Amino acid sequence: MYAIISIVSFLILWAIGVHYSEIKIVMPGPWEVIKEFVDSFINPVGRHTMPLHILYSLMRVVPAYLVGSVFGIVLGILMGWFRPVNSIFRPIYELIRPIPPIAWIPISIVWFGIGEGSKWFLIFLAAFVPVTLNSISGAKSVDPLLIKCGQMLGASKKYIFKSIVLPFSVPYIFSGLQVGLAGSWATVVAAEMIRSTEGVGWIIISSMDTNDVTQSLVGIMGIGIVGFLLATIMRKVEDKLCAWTRREV
Amino acid sequence: MRMDKKGSVDTVIECRHISKEFTSKRGTAKVLEDISLQVRKNEFVVLFGPGQCGKTTLMNVLSGLDGATKGTVYSHGQEVTGPGSERGVVFQSMALFPWLTVRGNVAYGPKARGFDKDAYTKKSDYYIDLVGLKGFENAYINQLSGGMKQRVGIARAYCNEPDVLFMDEPFSALDAQTRYLMQEEIMRIWSTEKRTVVFITNNIEEAVYVADRIILLTNCPARIKKEYPIDLPRPRDYTSKEFLLLRDEISKNMDRTL
Amino acid sequence: MAMDERRVKVRVSNLYKQFGDLKVLDNISFDVLEGEFLCVVGPTGCGKTTFLNSVTKLYEPTSGEILVNGEPVDLKKNNISYIFQEQSTMEWYTVEQNIEYGLRIKGIPKAERRIAVDEVLEMVGLKDYRKYYPRELSASMVQRVVIGRAFATKPELLLMDEPYGQLDIELRFKLEDELISLWQRTGTTVIFITHNIEEAVYLSEHILVLTNKPSTIKRKITNNLPRPRNVIDPDFIQLRNEVTELIKWW
């Protein structure tokens, strides 16, 4: 209920702001944007309609996100649990961590060309960094008493890793996956700056050529809505898998 | 009792001249000092003493969860060098695996040690029933009350059928009345499935209620102050004259908590 | 002092307390006589603490009347002291500053405070330790500071909520004896909540046994055992077992 009120209030403020100020010359009101957004589902923007643009962007994001996450989970857990692994990889990881995906664009083009590969690389990074961080956190935070329990009950080191360290880390991994997903999807604009002709990011980029602010906002709306849906799906999955972390009264 | 190197045939756990020190930035703290004791098969021994006096440390050393600075621990004549499935532990904080169901927790030991599914399911069901949790096999830990959680802890340790069961203040986190209930329950469970038990508590009534023998420890660094055999028939009566006299005698003799 | 000649200090009539949908107290009515030592026992979670808080209007009762000295209870008017579970002292004050604390809050002038504190220090046997800090004292001495602080304001009603919960037996017996002695000296009316039946039988003149939630009074038991009481005495044990049977759910 509160969510609806706050969104509607925001739209009203936007409309009022545009209507009563100079900015209406360059910036459209909410109604215009919504109209054109809905319109984009029927009439193409550029070569495709909105749903197709969204699909193209998803096709870039989803595989790269999955690969980045898998790498992140594996490396993160190993780094968090095995000290030698941590010693080897930590320095490199800490150097890569603060660099935003956008900064990689030129290098990415040099390494992977201007096709899909370079876009996948950027999104891979956007997922890989937070997933690794949280996975390290998870493996590091395992309650030592639980490990002792495993030993006391007769489990081998390998079994303890499989049956205690991994399950314990799952909620942490999921935090990382959430952040990674948000980051990946947000990076799609940067990725599509590398020579593309479709995608929600492209919608925004092409609008810069034609100074079409409305189109830009339509692209933003697209990104926002899909991002929200993705996050919601992720949360539902987490709720299912991590039910045991909730405290029941 | 004359003691040869391997102790008497009946001795399940034994330690000789155990000392334990902890070294930290602030210096060295001596927690245990020259402790020697033997526990016989199926005996219910209670380690009793003032708070923070080293009882848990002693248990950790005896069970192999921690090593001694000096002295040795023997289990059936063999030296104890680490934790193992022959020495089960029930912790005060329970330390259950929250991502597993009750059955998952209880069956963990046998499963980890390679028993096949039929075997460990049968075992875990038996012990879940023994501790009074029949029907809760598929519940998750966060759905259980404190008393029930501790029953899972007991079942989990029992399911591995260890030679010795160590219990570290298992009921201290429970409210007073649930505690009475659990004292009766542990006696029922133990008399059904006889096992050697080393039980830690700082509650004198609990100690006198459950013990065959109470080993009274001093304050830090802990030494054995005195041993009290408890010969009262079970189930014991908290208000019987003998019980109250024992309670009185032992608590008078206990060092004051620092 | 014949019990029936004492006047009624506290009268609780038809006390109900509900939190949302949860009914905790259900139609509780009882009297507490002036200078009486009343213990309240009941199964775990039956609402003993809610009960105490409602009687003193720390929680507003859902309905019902609570009279002290014939008038509705008023924390500002009535002189009520309260000791919570295993209450501790204020570490940054000395023993005498701790004891003085309640008096200062009540606005008692300095000279009177001095006299009261001296009296209390003498009563709890900590005269030689007045300038010490709690961390320098033993556990039993710290408890005596807590009690001293409560008695310093010469309360007409003293409420104690499981103050000796997890302390070891020797210490508890000692503190209980000191509490009785202070009570006998000052004539304060005491309502004492405990889960420990032996403690209730040791201290009380009456025992109020509560049921499970929603709590009502199961029984009010009169405790005529002569003081000083002996926990090994057969009559003591019989009373203890009788009360235990009433609340035993395990």
Give A162's contacts in chain B (Cβ within 8 Å).
none
Q: Name the residue of chain B whose CA is nearest to A147's CA.
A: B95
Beta strands in B146-189 (DSSP E): 164-168
Name the 3-class secondary structure at B168.
Answer: strand
Cα distances (angstroms) measured from residue A169 to each of A69, A73, B143, C183: 14, 10, 21, 57
CA atoms of B70 and B68, how far apart (whole Å): 5
Give B180's contacts in chain C (Cβ within 8 Å).
250
Helix A213-241, helix A200-210: angle, nearest 10: 160
Cβ distance of C44 and B177 shorter than 8 Å: yes
Query: Distance, in angstroms, between B239 CA and closest chain C CA?
Result: 6
CA atoms of B179 and B170, how far apart (whole Å): 9
A245 pLDDT higher than 60: yes
Instruction: State mean pLDDT over B217-246.
Output: 92
Which among B82, B85, B143 is the nearest to A153, CB-wise? B85
Instruction: State mean pLDDT over A139-154.
Output: 93
Q: What pLDDT is recorded for position A249? A: 39
Side-by-side strand order, sheet with C189-193: C80-83, C157-161, C189-193, C37-41, C206-210, C217-222
Give B202's contacts in chain C (Cβ within 8 Å).
168
Q: Quote the pTM value.
A: 0.82
Q: Which of B65, B63, B89, B60 is nearest to B75 (CA)?
A: B63
A69 neighbors A80 (Cβ within 8 angstroms):
no
Side-by-side strand order, sheet with C63-68: C22-33, C8-19, C63-68, C71-72
CA atoms of C197 and C206, how far apart (whole Å): 12
B112 exposed, middle or buried (CB, 10 Å; 0-12, 13-18, 19+)?
buried
CA atoms of C235 and B251, how far apart (whole Å): 23
Query: Distance, in angstroms, between A227 CA and closest chain B CA?
Result: 30
Instruction: Assess C174–B contact: CB distance below 8 Å, yes or no.
Output: no
B212 neighbors B227 (Cβ within 8 angstroms):
no
Which among A149, A168, A246 is the nearest to B95, CB-wise? A149
Mean pLDDT of all residues belonging to chain C: 87
CA atoms of A226 and A197, how far apart (whole Å): 19
Instruction: State mean pLDDT over A210-216.
Output: 84
Side-by-side strand order, sheet with B11-24: B27-40, B11-24, B70-75, B78-79
Cβ distance of B204 and C168 shorter than 8 Å: yes
Q: Name the residue of chain A whose CA is nearest to B141's CA.
A: A244
Confidence class for position B139, pLDDT limits 50, 70, 90: very high
Q: Which residues have C-beta within 8 Å of that of residue A184, sequence separation ≥ 6? A: A61, A64, A65, A68, A123, A126, A127
Instruction: Assess B82–A contact: CB distance below 8 Å, yes or no.
Output: yes
Most confident of the following: A109-118, B210-219, C21-30: B210-219
pLDDT in tens, C121-168: 888 888 888 899 988 888 778 888 888 888 888 888 999 988 887 777
* Tally of CB atoms within 10 A around B210: 23
Instruction: Assess B103–A contact: CB distance below 8 Å, yes or no.
Output: no
- Binning chain B into helix, strand and coil, the percentages to the nearest 5 are 35, 25, 40
Judged by 3 or more CB pairs under 8 A, whether A touches C is no
Query: Distance, in angstroms, between C103 CA and closest chain B CA?
Result: 31
Place of tokens 């038996």: B126
C64 pLDDT higher than 60: yes
Residue, of B6 and B129, whose pLDDT is higher:
B129
Disruptive mutation site among B89, B97, B103 for chain A (greatest number of A CBs within 10 Å)? B97
Q: Where are the domains of chain C?
A: 1-78+156-250, 85-155
A234 exposed, middle or buried (CB, 10 Å; 0-12, 13-18, 19+)?
middle
Any chains having at least 3 CB pairs less than 8 A from chain B are A, C
The count of CB pairs under 8 A between chains A and B is: 71
Q: What pLDDT is recorded for position C168? A: 78
Which among A152, A243, A244 is the nearest to B65, CB-wise? A152
Helices (H), chain C: 48-55, 95-105, 110-123, 139-152, 169-186, 197-203, 234-247
Q: In degrees, to the nearest 5, what angle opens at C-alpha A159 toward C-alphas B110 and A76?
A: 150
Q: What pLDDT is recorded for position A203? A: 85
Name the 3-class secondary structure at B13.
Answer: strand
Q: Where are the domains of chain A?
A: 31-241
ipTM of the complex: 0.86
Q: What pLDDT is recorded for position B2? A: 41
Which among B83, B97, B157 is the nearest to A164, CB-wise? B97
- Which fold is adopted by the domain A31-241? MetI-like fold (1.10.3720)
Confidence class for position C56, pLDDT limits 50, 70, 90: confident
The CATH H-level (homologous superfamily) assignment of domain C1-78+156-250 is P-loop containing nucleotide triphosphate hydrolases (3.40.50.300)
